[in-house]
């Protein structure tokens, strides 16, 4: 009888520990946390929210400056950000912190020369990517922001 009681306690303890381990590894989010991830996503920038080349400006809308045939993109694999910045392609690492922290770079880009307006947009765009510290995904929209929550770049999911 003593042996059965000990075996029962051992079995009950094992099930209890399994329950704790399962709860800890279930991926359940705590209240207020985001389960969104950038890994495996592809985005195009909203043309009305292309970065400005002027220091101190956050976004610029310049109709007709960017040809409609140019699509500025950003894609995330498991640990690499890649894209097209208006003239050149770029790639580099990214890291996520917690549920909404994001740091992109350092990035490397091809060195193709393009029309002056594309080069201005590209330089500003890559500069804004370097400033990103947070992300927010809402439906088909990705917002990349600085540490103060100022929107640096806005994308639409592809």
* The pLDDT of residue 48: 58
Q: How far apart are CA 14 and CA 34, in angstroms?
A: 32
Of 25-34, 53-62, 76-85, give the lowest mean pLDDT range: 25-34
The yes-or-no verdict on residue 90 having pLDDT over 70 is: yes
Q: How many domains does the chain have?
A: 1
pLDDT grade for 47, boundaries at 50, 70 and 90: low
Domain range for residue 120?
37-157
The continuous run of DSSP H or E covering 45 comes out as strand 41-45
In a domain, 12, yes or no: no
In this prediction, residues 70-91 reach a mean pLDDT of 93
In a domain, 14, yes or no: no
Of 15-29, 47-61, 122-136, give the lowest mean pLDDT range: 15-29
Which neighbouring-strand residues pair with 136?
143
* The pLDDT of residue 58: 47
**Which residues have CB under 8 Å from 100's CB, separation 6+?**
34, 36, 134, 135, 136
* The pLDDT of residue 13: 38
Stronger pLDDT, 156 or 58, i.e. the higher one: 156
What confidence tens digit (pLDDT) does each residue in 96-154 have? 988 889 999 999 999 998 888 888 888 888 999 999 999 999 999 999 999 998 888 99
**Which residues have CB under 8 Å from 112's CB, separation 6+?**
87, 88
- Looking at residue 81, which CATH number applies to its domain? 2.40.128.270
Q: How far apart are CA 48 and CA 94, in angstroms?
A: 25
Stronger pLDDT, 47 or 70, i.e. the higher one: 70
Q: How far apart are CA 30 and CA 39, in angstroms?
A: 21
Residues 33, 35, 38, 42: is their CA dihedral positive or negative?
negative
């Amino acid at each position: 009888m003593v042996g059965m009681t000990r075996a029962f306690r051992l079995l009950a303890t094992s099930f209890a520990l399994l329950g704790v381990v399962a709860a800890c590894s279930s991926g359940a989010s705590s209240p207020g946390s985001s389960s969104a991830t950038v890994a495996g996503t592809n985005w195009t920038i909203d043309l009305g929210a292309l970065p400005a080349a002027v220091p101190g400006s956050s976004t610029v809308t310049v109709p007709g400056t960017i040809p409609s045939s140019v699509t500025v993109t950003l894609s995330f694999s498991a640990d690499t950000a890649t894209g097209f910045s208006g003239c050149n392609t770029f790639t580099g690492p990214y890291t996520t912190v917690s549920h909404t922290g994001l740091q992109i770079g350092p990035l490397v880009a091809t060195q193709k020369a393009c029309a002056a307006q594309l080069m201005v947009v590209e330089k500003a765009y890559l500069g804004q990517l370097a400033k990103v510290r947070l992300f927010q995904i809402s439906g088909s929209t990705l917002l990349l922001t600085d540490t103060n929550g100022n929107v640096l770049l806005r994308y639409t999911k592809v």
